[in-house]
Amino acid sequence: MGPLIPNGIIPQDWDSIIAILIGLVFGFVLEASGFSSSRKLAGIFYGYDFAVLKVFFTAAVVALIGMYYMDYLGYVDITQMYVHPTYLWGAIIGGVIMGIGFVAGGFCPGTSLCAVAIGKVDAIVYVIGIIIGVFIFSELFFLFQPIYEGYFMGNITLADSLGVNPYWFIFIFTLIAILSFVISDIIRKRNKKIFY
Amino acid sequence: MVKKKVAKVLDLRYVVLAGILIILAGGLVLLPKYEKHEGIKPEQLLSNVISPERYISTDKLADILINQDPSYLLIDVRDEESYTKYSLPNAINIPLKKLLSEDFEAYLNQDQYNVVLYSNDNFYADQAWIICNRLDYKNLNVLKGGINKWYETIINPPKPTENMPAEAFELYTFRKAASMYFGVAYPEQFKAPVAKKVVPKKVITVKKKKKAPAEGGC
C-alpha cells in the first residue's frame, strides 16, 4: 500500500503542502520541548543535559522499528522508501564542520530557525552566520565540487553497507540507544546541578 | 499512600519504555520471515490471465510492420537457434529461460513501447507474458498463434473459395499484399512479357500545298 505519495494514494502535488504542515508541527514541538535554547542544546557537550541525544535517538529507533513492522505487515514497502545518497567524504567533512558549529554556536540549523522565531538574538546572529557560510560555499563551489560530488556510495543504508541482517541491526541499534541513555543519565547525575 | 505508590510506578516509566523498545526490536528478529510477494496481487493476475486483451492478431501485426510503427517492439521468446533460422523483421531475441536476466530487463520493464511477445505458438509467449505481467511490466502483448499462425495467414494465406463472403476476399488481398511485402513472390507477378505487335508503319503522305500563284494584281 504505502508509501503514500510514490504509490499515488496522495497526489504528488500535495507534497510541498504536507511538508509545510509537518515543518510547522516539527518547529512547534522543538520549541515546546525547549530546543530553542542554546544552553539546553549545548548541554550534551558539557554533560549536564542529554535531551538532544535522547530525543533524536529515540525518534530514530521508534521510526525504525515502526517502519519495519509496517513493512512486515505489508502496509509500507520498505524498498520504495527514499534513502539519502551517501557521499562519504562530503558527509564526514560536513559533519565535522556542523559539529564544531553546534558546539560553538549552540544550535543546529533547524533549532536556530526555531529560536529566531521566538526572537533570540544569538540565534539571529547564528542564522546570519549560516547565510554567510552558504554564500561562501556557493561562491567557491568549484573548489569544493570534487568532494561534494565525489566518493559517491549510492543510496545505501547502514545495514546495507555493513552487510548485516537489518532485523538484527535494528535490535543491536536499539540496545546501543538504550545503553547510551543509561550512560548519559549516569554522567548527568555525576555532574553538579547546573541551572540554565 | 496511593500517591507514593503511583510515584514509585512512575519512577519506573523510563525502564518500562526501554523494555518496550527492546521487546519490539527483539520481536522483529524473532518474527518468522516469509518471502515477500513481488509485483501485482494474485487476484489481479488471475483476471489479467483470463482476459484475452493481451492478444494481437497476425493481421494487425502485419499492418504495424508494414506501416513501420516505431512504438512497437517485437520480442522473440524462442531459443536462439530458431531465432536465427527465422523470425519477424527487427525482432529481439529473449529466450524464455533468460527472460528475467538483467540484460533484458530494460526491454521488458518500460512504458515507452508496446511489446509484442511471440513464440512458435502462443504457448511460450503466454508464459513469458504471465511472468512479466506478474512483475507489473506494462504494455505487453502476445501474438495470437505465434509464428505458425503468422506463416499460415500472412506468408502463405489460404485462397478463399468462391462461396465465401466478400470480406474473406478483401482479407486475402490484404494478406497477399502483406506477404509480398515480406518477400513472398507469386507466379502471377511474373507474367510473360507480352510480345509487342509490330505495327507496320503507315506512311501518310501529306500533300504540300502548292503555293498559289499570286492572282490578280494590282
Q: Is B24 a domain residue?
A: yes
pLDDT above 60: residue B217? no
Arithmetic mean of pLDDT, A10-39: 90
Residue B27: is it exposed, middle or buried by C-beta count within 10 angstroms (0-12/13-18/19+)? middle
Q: Is B207 a domain residue?
A: no
Looking at the structure, tell me whether residues B19 and B68 fall in a common domain: no
Which of B114, B112, B98 shows the shortest CA–CA distance to B65?
B114
B25 and chain A in contact, CB less than 8 A: yes
B31 and chain A in contact, CB less than 8 A: yes
CA–CA separation, A102 and A121 (whole Å): 16
Least trusted range by pLDDT, from A81-90, B61-70, B182-191, B192-201: B192-201
Confidence of residue A175 (pLDDT cuts 50, 70, 90): very high
B218 and chain A in contact, CB less than 8 A: no
CA–CA min distance A63, chain B (Å): 11
- Nearest CB to A170; choose among B14, B18, B28: B28
Looking at the structure, tell me whether residues B2 and B20 fall in a common domain: yes
- Tally of domains in chain B: 2
Q: Quick: pLDDT tens for B31-87.
A: 888 777 677 888 888 888 898 888 999 889 999 988 988 899 899 999 888 888 888
Looking at the structure, tell me whether residues B129 and B145 fall in a common domain: yes
Looking at every residue in chain B, the average pLDDT score rounds to 85
Looking at the structure, tell me whether residues B10 and B78 fall in a common domain: no
Looking at the structure, tell me whether residues B139 and B54 fall in a common domain: yes
pLDDT at A60: 92
Looking at the structure, tell me whether residues B100 and B10 fall in a common domain: no
Q: Quick: pLDDT tens for A51-74.
A: 888 988 999 999 999 999 988 888
Neighbours of B173 (CB within 10 A): 12
Cell of B122: 502462443
Q: Which helix (H) or strand (E) holds A153?
A: strand A152-154
Query: Taking CB atoms and an 8 Å cutoff, what residues of chain B touch A62?
Result: 21
CATH number for the domain that contains residue B98: 3.40.250.10
The reply to whether residue A68 touches residue B28, judged by beta carbons under 8 angstroms, is yes
Q: For the stretch B64-82, what's the b/e string if a residue is b when 16 or more beta carbons lie within 10 angstroms of its beta carbon? A: bbeeeeeebbbbbbbeeee
Q: Quick: pLDDT tens for A103-158.
A: 888 888 889 999 999 999 999 999 999 999 999 999 999 998 888 888 888 888 88
**Structural domain range at position B95:** 42-153
The ipTM value here is 0.78
Query: Taking CB atoms and an 8 Å cutoff, what residues of chain A touch B31?
Result: 72, 167
- Nearest CB to A174; choose among B14, B25, B31: B25
Looking at the structure, tell me whether residues B23 and B77 fall in a common domain: no
DSSP 8-state code for residue A150: S
CA–CA separation, A90 and A148 (whole Å): 5
Looking at the structure, tell me whether residues B148 and B58 fall in a common domain: yes
pLDDT at B192: 67
Looking at the structure, tell me whether residues B118 and B28 fall in a common domain: no
Please identify which residue in the block is written with the cell numbers 513493512.
Answer: A71
CA–CA separation, B146 and B57 (whole Å): 9
The reply to whether residue B31 touches residue A72, judged by beta carbons under 8 angstroms, is yes
Backbone angles phi, psi at A82, to 5 degrees: -75, 125
Among B153, B175, B207, the domain-final residue is: B153
Q: Is B149 a domain residue?
A: yes
Q: Is B216 a domain residue?
A: no
- E strands, chain B, are 55-56, 72-76, 92-93, 114-118, 140-143
The structure's pTM equals 0.61
Cell of B134: 506478474
- Strand bridging mode A86-87 / A152-154: antiparallel
pLDDT at A181: 92
Looking at the structure, tell me whether residues B106 and B14 fall in a common domain: no
Cell of B56: 494481437
pLDDT above 90: residue B193? no
Looking at the structure, tell me whether residues B20 and B92 fall in a common domain: no
Cell of A44: 550534551
Looking at every residue in chain A, the average pLDDT score rounds to 88
